[in-house]
Amino acid sequence: MISTHILDTQLGKPASFISVRLFQVETNRYIGEGVTDSNGRIQDLQIQIPIEQGIYQLEYDVAPYFQKLNTPSFFPKVYIQFYISALNEHYHIPLLLSAHAYSTYRGS
């Protein structure tokens, strides 16, 4: 399973209603997508094909979020690549976001 959440560190609250898409990098295949809920979370991306070992990329479309806040943003999208090695593990990728910076880590 792959999940994510976004925290707007500038406001200190979850970032809601951000579209996130998942791709398999080596084949550039679209895998699935979701939209963050009111808690900034996507518990389980709507994955269209089986996940295999390899490199994946989450694409966060953050520009509309900042436009709604009337906040200029340096990043229109954020891309996070990660490696899936064990198919039976849960991969949780948090995104700490502000208008001019972001960071991530492997969550649990």
Residue list, annotated binding site for substrate: 5, 41, 105
Neighbour tally for 84: CB within 10 Å: 15
The closest of 44, 43, 107 to 80, measured between CA atoms, is: 107
- Detail the residues annotated as belonging to a binding site: 5, 41, 105
CB 22 within 8 A of CB 33: yes
CB 98 within 8 A of CB 10: yes
First to last CA, the chain: 12
* Three-state DSSP state, 80: strand
